[in-house]
Structure 1
């Protein structure tokens, strides 16, 4: 009887969440698959057209390149921030954590527009450089990959900082102290003792930033100005401008599969459960 009661409680908790997942996620996702195979005619024509399109191939290359550079930038800056908060913040640690979380309280659209104000031809950066006599004509800081990557690093940085900070919080300082006591230099103790223990946080932050960057839309659309056409923006053009639901759905399915492959490859090298859950 107790065993039946435990099973009943388990399914009573799981079934509502499973039903919500099926209705609001899996069913619409299956609908996209169906559209990609039925519009405008039944078959794999949309996937064949996508495979033959140089524009689609270029868009995928740009998407993965921007996501990769964004991930590297977020890891470098995020590691520094997480390390400083975890080891040197002291009394101001709550304030620094609040500053990391602060961007989540501001719309991504507003943050992206702020970069337009900063990087535009008549923006704050160009005006300051011309006022200082460093440049004679405005620099092209946006409507290119530089502007897109810079703004995306700003948007994605908290997603890298938080997993690494959670990981570092669980690392005892006694390991580094023991290494220093045995004669290791500060750099050697960091490189051989501390840094390897932070790899689960680094990998989980990298995976989170990279996957989110693959499907990001608002910032690349605004800062790219149509010249840095990532796959999410390309899908939007196909559906909204050309009403090509079939090709747009096929591109969405391909992006979903590519993202799943990235996660599957990462799972071959990293214990994702440990990286994403245990250190949290």
Structure 2
């Protein structure tokens, strides 16, 4: 009886969450898959059209390239910031952590419009550079990959910082002191003792940023101006402009499949359960 009671309590807790997941995630995904093979006619015509389209291939390559570059930049900047907060900024740590979290309190749409104001031809950045005499003509920051990358790094940076900061704050400082006490230089102690222990945070932050970047829409659409069309914008374009629900749904399924492949590939090299669930 006690075991049956424990199992009953377990399922009473699990079933509501499972029902919500089925209703609001699995069922819509299945509907999208259904639309992809039934609109406008039944069959795999939408997938054939998708694989034969050069525009779709270019959009997918562009999406993965921008996501990869964004991830690398976020990891480099985020590692330095997380390391500083975890090890040096003891007195101002709450303030710095608050500044990292501050962007979450502002809409992504507002932040993207702010970058338009900053990076436009008559924006604050170009005006400042021209006033100081560093440039003679405005630099084209927008409607290209440069502006998209700048804005996406700004949006995604907290997602890289927080996992790495959580990981770093769990590393005892005595490890570095012991390494220095045994004669290791500061750089060698960091390279051989500290950095390997931060890899779970680096992997989780990088994977989080990359996966989120694959499906990003607002910032690339505004800063790219239609010239940097990532796959999410291409899907919206197909549905809103051409009412091509079948192809749009097929692209959505392909994006979901690509994300799943990324996670599957990562799981071959990284223990995702340990990376995301365990805390040092």
Q: Considering the TM-score relative to the shorter chain, is it more than 0.5?
A: yes
Question: Partner of 1:202 in structure 2?
Answer: 202
Unaligned stretches of 5+ residues in structure 2: none
Q: Post-superposition shift, 1:277?
A: 1.4
In structure 2, distance between residues paired with 1:267 and 1:279: 18
Q: Post-superposition shift, 1:135?
A: 1.3
Question: Partner of 2:2 in structure 1?
Answer: 2
Question: Partner of 2:149 in structure 1?
Answer: 149
Question: Partner of 2:212 in structure 1?
Answer: 212
Q: Which moved further from structure 2: 209-218 or 168-177?
A: 168-177
Secondary structure at 2:40's aligned position in 1?
coil
Secondary structure at 1:79's aligned position in 2?
helix
Q: Post-superposition shift, 1:236?
A: 0.1
In structure 2, distance between residues paired with 1:18 and 1:167: 30
In structure 2, distance between residues paired with 1:99 and 1:137: 34
Secondary structure at 2:267's aligned position in 1?
helix
Secondary structure at 1:38's aligned position in 2?
coil
Question: Partner of 1:103 in structure 2?
Answer: 103
Question: Partner of 2:64 in structure 1?
Answer: 64
Output aligned runs, 1:99-178, within 5 Å.
Answer: 99-178=99-178
Output aligned runs, 1:60-99, within 5 Å.
Answer: 60-99=60-99
Residue 20, structure 1, aligned to residue 2, structure 2 = no
Q: Post-superposition shift, 1:275?
A: 1.1
Q: Which moved further from structure 2: 91-100 or 147-156?
A: 91-100
Unaligned stretches of 5+ residues in structure 1: none
Secondary structure at 1:91's aligned position in 2?
coil
In structure 2, distance between residues paired with 1:43 and 1:2: 52
Question: Partner of 2:266 in structure 1?
Answer: 266
In structure 2, distance between residues paired with 1:31 and 1:161: 36
Question: Partner of 2:40 in structure 1?
Answer: 40
Q: Post-superposition shift, 1:89?
A: 1.0
Q: Post-superposition shift, 1:175?
A: 1.1
Question: Partner of 2:244 in structure 1?
Answer: 244
The root-mean-square deviation of aligned C-alpha atoms, in Å, is: 0.7
Runs in 1 of length 4+ with deviation above 3 angstroms?
none
How many pairs does the alignment contain?
A: 280
TM-score by length of 2: 0.99
Secondary structure at 2:140's aligned position in 1?
coil
Q: Post-superposition shift, 1:111?
A: 0.4
In structure 2, distance between residues paired with 1:266 and 1:89: 33
Output aligned runs, 1:50-61, within 5 Å.
Answer: 50-61=50-61
